[in-house]
Structure 1
Amino acid sequence: MQDDLAAHLARRARRLALDARNVEDADPETLRAFAREVLADLAALGLLRGEEAVGCWAGPRPGGH
C-alpha cells in the first residue's frame, strides 16, 4: 500500500507541476493544495489525525455492520 500511496502522491505532484527543484518558486496555493491532499491521505491511513471520512487509502471495514 505504501508504494501505491507514493505513486499517487507523485502523480498529484506532477499534475500540479511540483518537484524538488521548483518547490521554492511554487505558488503558495499550489503547495497548500498538495499539502492538504497529502495530509488527507495520511489521515485516511490512520497515520495522522484528520477527517473521519473513509478515503481511497483506508483499510477494509470490519464485518458485521
Structure 2
Amino acid sequence: MQDSLALHLAHKARNLALDALNVENADPETLRDFARTALLELAALGLVCGEEELGCWAAPRVPGH
C-alpha cells in the first residue's frame, strides 16, 4: 500500500512539474496543491487527522455491519 502511495505522489509531483531540485523556486500554489494531495492521502490511510468521508475504504468498519 505504501508503494502505491509513493507512486501516486510521484505522479502528482510530475503533473505539477515539481521535484526536489526545484522546490525552493516552486510557486506557492503548486506546493499547496501537492501538500493537499499528500495530506488527503495520508488522512485516508488514517495516518493523520482529516475529514472523514462516508464509505471511505480506509475507515475502520463499524462492528455489526
TM-score by length of 2: 0.84
Aligned mates of 2:20, 2:62 — CA distance in 1: 39
Corresponding residue for residue 2 of structure 1: 2
* 1:48 match: secondary structure: coil
Aligned residues: 63
Kindly provide the amino acid, as one letter, of the partner of residue 12 in structure 1. K
Flag the structure with larger Rg: 2
Aligned mates of 1:62, 1:14 — CA distance in 2: 38
Gap runs ≥5 in structure 2: none
Aligned mates of 1:61, 1:26 — CA distance in 2: 40
Identity of paired residues, percent? Answer: 68
Corresponding residue for residue 33 of structure 1: 33
How far apart are residue 59 of structure 1 and its match? 6.2
TM-score by length of 1: 0.84
Pair 1:15–1:31, CA change in 2 (3 A)? same
Gap runs ≥5 in structure 1: none
Cα RMSD of the aligned pairs, angstroms, is 1.9
